[in-house]
Amino acid sequence: MKNFDVLIIGAGASGFACALQALKRHKKVAILDHNASPLKKVKISGGGKCNFTNLNAKPENYVCAIKNFTTFALKTFPPQIIVALLKRHGIKFSEKEKGQLFAQSSQEIIDVLMEETQKAQFFFNCTIEKIEKQDTSFKIHTSDEIFSAKSLVIACGGMSYQNIGASDFGYVQAKNFGHKIIPYRPALVPFNLDNELMKKTIKLKGIALDCLISTGERSFRGNVLFTHFGISGPSVLQSSLYWEKNQPINLNFLPEFDLLNFLKEQRDVAKKKKLSNILRQFFPESFVGFLVEDKDVFISEAANKTLQKIAEMVHNFKTIPIGTQGFKLAEVTCGGVDTTEIDNQTFESKKVKGLFFVGEVLDVTGQLGGYNLQWAWSSGFCAGENV
């Protein structure tokens, strides 16, 4: 039997953050993972450049059944701490937009975390067969070894990125220890559109348009990308975090412009211009074809009803997605371990002493743009302070 102070299941960002802080407190730490290498999500984050935090991270950037559950952790370990760590290691990074920080390479982040946790013991390709608590210790039975520790940290993430090993393992273990699971679903994920609409939008495949997309009371501005299954792009992914099944979404492709009035004015001053040519000032050819049935009609010939229909399609394009692309393309999992049963300062279970949950396995989901990795650092750090 291998004995440790802390056993961490999951060699991802939250697991490493927990290990790093526990090691600073001179704890004997082991990290177990079924993958062959660590930090696989970090590796592919930001297209290989790792959007490792967002300087604007606040509780309102997160979805959680318990309002302000994230407040303490984000204040205790704000973005500036991970920034300072990387600076100490000479890692260069840049701010793209809205506080999003990217490294030059994800591998640089991985190298820093591996160096900072070199005193931990890693067990990769580790198949866990059973976890139990005996008296004050947890025992993990694997196909090769039995591990024992007084503190057990579940840091194995959610269901997103199943192609790199994601599973429901963390939720299963939480249930085994008597925890509730908030129903989970894919989030930060593209939408699927119905077949009838797809027959029209398939001609738009590959084009991206600036758009204000709204769902419920939430609106996000950014590119919408038309795909072979529906729509994707930053604003779509953001909306998916708040979208509920059978809920309509609204797309405004010219949010700061009154197209109807402009077209009516053009009808008076540009009578010999074709309606399609006027619309090409704003949109690519394929989208103009989507808006206008007769490309040869002159603006002077266009009835008010025609112009109103075009303006409505541009400013108030409503549809109800038939679903999403699911966990295969989702960047995160929304839902998870019920936070009413977790201490928001220590991340220890309120039901089982010595059991901790951090990162994506919890019912905490950040918006697109570095918020989820920041949550991994913050929650992992707080647990590392208390294991």
Joined together, the tokens standing for residue 316 give 């108030």
Average pLDDT over residues 341-351: 98
Residue 308 pLDDT > 80: yes
Residues 212-234 have pLDDT tens digits of 999 999 999 999 999 999 999 99
**Residue 192 confidence (pLDDT):** 98
Tokens of 95: 């701010």
pLDDT at 269: 87
DSSP string, 257-290: --HHHHHHHHHHH-TTSBHHHHHTTTS-HHHHHH
Region 354-382: mean pLDDT is 98
Distances (CA, A) of 285 to 116, 136, 266, 299: 53, 68, 19, 17
Instruction: Return the structure tokens found at 129.
Output: 């067969």
Average pLDDT over residues 41-66: 96
pTM: 0.95
Cα–Cα distance between 256 and 254 in angstroms, integer? 6
Supply the pLDDT for residue 97: 86
**Each residue's pLDDT tens digit, 9-32:** 999 999 999 999 999 999 999 999
- How far is the C-alpha of 34 from the C-alpha of 29, rounded, in Å? 17
pLDDT band, very low/low/confident/very high, at 245 (cuts 50, 70, 90): very high
What integer best gives the mean pLDDT of the chain? 96
Average pLDDT for residues 295-318, to the nearest whole number?
94
pLDDT of 208 strictly over 80: yes
Looking at residue 294, its pLDDT comes to: 87
Query: Does 296 score more than 90 pLDDT?
Result: no
Pairing of strands 355-357, 151-154: parallel
Show the tokens assigned to 135.
């008296």
pLDDT level of residue 354 (50, 70, 90 thresholds): very high
Q: What is the mean pLDDT of residues 55-84?
A: 97
Condensed to tens digits (0 to 9), the pLDDT of residues 85-118 reads 999 999 999 999 889 999 999 999 999 999 999 9
Determine phi and psi for 59, rounding to 5 degrees: -55, -35
Percent pLDDT > 90 in the chain is 95
Residue 271 confidence (pLDDT): 76
pLDDT value of residue 163: 87
Sheet hosting strand 51-54, strand order edge to edge: 51-54, 100-103, 93-95
Closest CA to 61 of 358, 365, 386, 354: 365
